[in-house]
Amino acid sequence: MSERREHYSYTYYADAANAQSFDSRRFGGPIGDLVARGQADVLANMLGPVKGRRIIDVGTGTGRGAFLLAGAGAQVTGIDASEQMLALAKQRAADTHATGVDFQVGDAHQIQFADRSFDVAVSLRVLMHTPRWRQCIGELCRVASQGVVLDYPSATSTAMLESIVRKVLHPLGLASEPYRVFFESQIRQELESHGFRVTNVHRQFVMPIALHKAIGSRRFTEQSEQWLARLGLLRLFGSPVTVYAQRG
């Protein structure tokens, strides 16, 4: 456990300034808003009606996904290893008088709930940063009685190049968040080893999100990505990839 705690995925988000700026960096501006709306649509399409369902949001961060699900009627538990990120989530819950959501400190590698405690386990933008991703998938599957939703950057996309660059620059102090990429077969095989089968897949962008943010035009992003999708490139090179896997 102490070895994991030295990993950047713990230390970076334990910094209050990084936690405070997370939402604006990820979801700020026209492209960030597009990403946020896309995430909401994907969850809705994959899970369908969630009213009354028990859902755990693993690596909840500031709680964006948890609030979406709770707003649709789910009973949501959001866990995260960063107390700083959770403090922002709890403050937002208090400010908006949100109901149906509970935030707790927790680790994706060792979820402190019994087997099948939840109907669905959700984990977004977590596997790419975790020290032991296979262990995290195992935990998601263990606590979910029905399904698992997770996402990852694809090894067949431009994310591969960015991940290599970040891994080179990180030891030099020039990149804060190096990350890993995955082949679809890796994710499917790991889920299947725990008795889950992928039944729904969504790929977001062909071009890098960083490029879209640099251009800063929602119209350009939507039109260019639609054109690339019509050429069949989204199916081949789209990233990040979100999957829904069902037990059995």
144-185 pLDDT, tens digit per residue, is 999 999 999 999 999 999 988 888 887 777 666 789 999 999
204: domain range? 2-247
Cα distance between residue 246 and residue 248, in whole Å: 6
- Give me the CATH number covering residue 182: 3.40.50.150
- Residue 226 is classified by DSSP as H
Which pLDDT does position 125 carry in this prediction?
93
Which pLDDT does position 208 carry in this prediction?
93
CB 58 within 8 A of CB 111: yes
Cα distance between residue 68 and residue 40, in whole Å: 7
Instruction: Map 169-189 to HEC letters.
Output: HHHHCCCCCCCCCECHHHHHH
3-class secondary structure, 144: strand
Residue 199 burial (CB count, 10 A):
11
The two structure tokens encoding residue 56:
């755990």
Which pLDDT does position 52 carry in this prediction?
97
**pLDDT, tens digit (0-9, with 9 covering 90-100), for 228-239:** 999 999 999 999
The contacts of residue 164 (CB under 8 Å, 6+ apart) are none
| Residues of the chain under the 70 pLDDT cut | 1-5, 174-176
Q: Considering its fold, how many domains does the chain have in total?
A: 1
Helical residues (DSSP H) of the chain, grouped into ranges:
2-5, 8-11, 16-27, 29-47, 64-71, 83-96, 133-143, 159-169, 184-193, 209-215, 218-230, 233-237
